[in-house]
A and B are shown apart, each in its own frame.
Chain A
Amino acid sequence: MNSCTVQRGIFSLRECGNASTETCSQCMRPICMEHANYGTEQILCPECFAASPKNEADDDSENDDTSDWDSPDWSGRWSSDYRDSHAYVPLAVASQHDKFDDFDRNAFATRSEDVEDDGKTDGSARFSDS
C-alpha cells in the first residue's frame, strides 16, 4: 500500500507516512484520510485544496484568525498563510536524500572512483564525446 505523500509540520517538514486511503482528484497523489479534504465535490490534497478558487477567495481573511481552529483544514491553511506572509521556510528533515540506503550510496561511490581512475589512465575510454 502507498503511503501519504503530504508534507506535514510547521517548523520542520516531513512526509506524513500514514497509509493512503484516497487519491487527490487533481494531482493524483496518494493521501491519507487525515489530509483528504472532502468539503468540495472532489477529494483534494491540502495543497490543491488551498489553491482551489473557493479558498483563494478566502485568503483575504486576517492571518491570525484562530476562530475556526476546529475545522479539519485549519492548521494547513494557517501554516500556509503564515509561511507566505512571513516568508518562512521550514527545515526539510526527512527529504528524499535521507531515504538512500548504503546500497544506493555505494553505487555512487563506485562510479566516482571509476571516473577518477579513468581520468588518470584513459579518461576517454568510457566518457567519450564522439
Chain B
Amino acid sequence: MSLLTALNTYRRLDARQRALMREKEIDASMALEEWIPFLGGIARFDRAGDGLRKTLGWLAILTTIIALAIAFASESVKPLLLGIGSLLFAAGWSRLREIDIPPALDRFLLPWLVLLKEDVAPKSEVSLRLDLRGAEQEQKSLSARDMPNGLPKKPSSCKDEYFRDDWFSGTASLADGVVLKWDISDLVRQRVMTRRNARGKTKVKKKYKIQRSFDVQLSVRAKDYQVGQPKPDTACRESVKQGEKRSAIRVRTRSVGSELQAPPKLTEFVETIARAYSHLSIAPKER
C-alpha cells in the first residue's frame, strides 16, 4: 500500500521537484501560490517515502536472514532468489534514504508558508533560500578540536567539531507595506567520544548540541508606521533604526536543543516576528 502511495506521489513530481530532492538546495523567487504546491508535493512524497523506507529496510533484513537459514539447511535455488530480493529491497531503501528530506520541510517550512499567505501582498513574489543538506557538511564546518580529558567518565578521546548551517532565509513583501526578512541558522556542536572498556571493546558515541537562531528584520514605511524603541531584554536582541522614509526593526532569538533533525517550533518563530511587530503602531494619517 505504501509502495503504491509513494509511487503515485513520486510520479506527480515534476523535473524541478525531483532535482530539489536530489540536490536539497534551492534559491528562487516565486509567488506563494507556486511555492506551496511545489514544496508540498515533495513533502507528501517524503511522508509516503518514510513509511516505504522502513518497510523496505525490514524486508531486506528479513529476506537476508531467511535466505541464510535456507542456504544452511538445504541446497536449493530459493536462497539465491531470496538473496536477490534482499539486494533489491536494500537498493530501494538506500535510494529512498538518499532523497530523504528532513522533517523541517513538512513540520515547519510549509506550515510557515501557509501562514505567511495570509499576510503576504497579493501578486508579490517571495524569495526563499533553502538548504536541506544538513549541518554535517565539510563546507559548513567552522572548527574542530580535541578536547582535554576533563569530561565526566573520562573517555579515551573526545573531539568537538562545530558547524554553522544557514539553512532557511527569505524575503516577503507583506500586504501592509512591510518587508519581512528572516534567517534561520543552526550552530551545531558535534561531540564524538570514544571509550574503551575493561574488556578492550571500543565504543563511539556522538552527541549534538544545537543553538538555533531566528533573525527577523522588518522594514516599514515611516508614513505607515511609528516605531518605538526596544526595551532591554535578555531573552532576545532587538534593535531599531529609524530613517526618514523607512525604519528597520531587527529581532534575534535563540533556542538550544540536542536533536539534530528536530524541526524548529513554529510558535517560537512567529513569536519572534510578533515581537518585532510589537514595536510598531499605526502612524496617524496625514490630511
Binding stretch for chain B, among A7-15, A23-31, A53-61, A110-118: A7-15
Q: Is the CB of B274 within 8 A of A88?
A: yes
Q: Is the CB of A98 within 8 A of B277?
A: no
Q: Is the CB of A66 within 8 A of B107?
A: yes
Binding stretch for chain A, among B48-56, B81-89, B115-123, B190-198: B115-123
Q: Which of B106, B119, B271, B282 has the most CB of A within 10 A?
A: B119
CA distance A10 to B119 in the complex (A): 6
Q: Is the CB of B114 within 8 A of A9?
A: no
Number of chain A residues whose Cβ lies closer than 8 Å to a Cβ of chain B: 25
Does A41 count as interface, using CB distance less than 8 angstroms? no
CA distance A97 to B88 in the complex (A): 68
Which B residues lie within 8 Å of A86 (CB)? 267, 271, 274
Residue of A nearest to B268 (CB): A64
Q: Which of B108, B114, B174 has the most CB of A within 10 A?
A: B114
CA distance A74 to B106 in the complex (A): 14
Does B57 count as interface, using CB distance less than 8 angstroms? no
Smallest Cβ distance from A84 to chain B, in angstroms?
Answer: 12
Q: Is the CB of B176 within 8 A of A75?
A: no
CA distance A29 to B12 in the complex (A): 39
CA distance A105 to B285 in the complex (A): 12
Q: Is the CB of A12 within 8 A of B176?
A: yes
Which B residues lie within 8 Å of A67 (CB)? 106-107
Does A93 count as interface, using CB distance less than 8 angstroms? yes
Which B residues lie within 8 Å of A70 (CB)? 40, 110, 114
Does B61 count as interface, using CB distance less than 8 angstroms? no
Does A69 count as interface, using CB distance less than 8 angstroms? yes
| Binary per-residue interface labels of chain A (61-78) against chain B in the complex, 1 for a CB within 8 Å, 0 otherwise | 001101101100011001
Q: Which of A11, A78, A105 touches B119 (beta carbons < 8 Å)?
A: A11
Does A91 count as interface, using CB distance less than 8 angstroms? yes
Does A79 count as interface, using CB distance less than 8 angstroms? yes
CA distance A69 to B265 in the complex (A): 14
**Which residues of B are in contact with A by a Cβ distance under 8 Å?**
40, 106-108, 110-111, 114-119, 174-176, 178, 265-267, 270-271, 273-274, 277, 280-282, 285, 287
What are 14 of the A-B contact pairs (CB < 8 Å)?
A9-B118, A10-B119, A12-B277, A14-B175, A66-B108, A69-B114, A70-B114, A74-B111, A75-B117, A86-B274, A90-B277, A93-B176, A98-B285, A105-B287
Given A66-B111, A69-B114, 17 extra CB contacts under 8 A: A10-B116, A10-B119, A11-B119, A11-B174, A11-B178, A12-B119, A64-B265, A66-B110, A70-B110, A75-B114, A75-B115, A75-B118, A78-B111, A88-B274, A91-B280, A91-B282, A93-B176
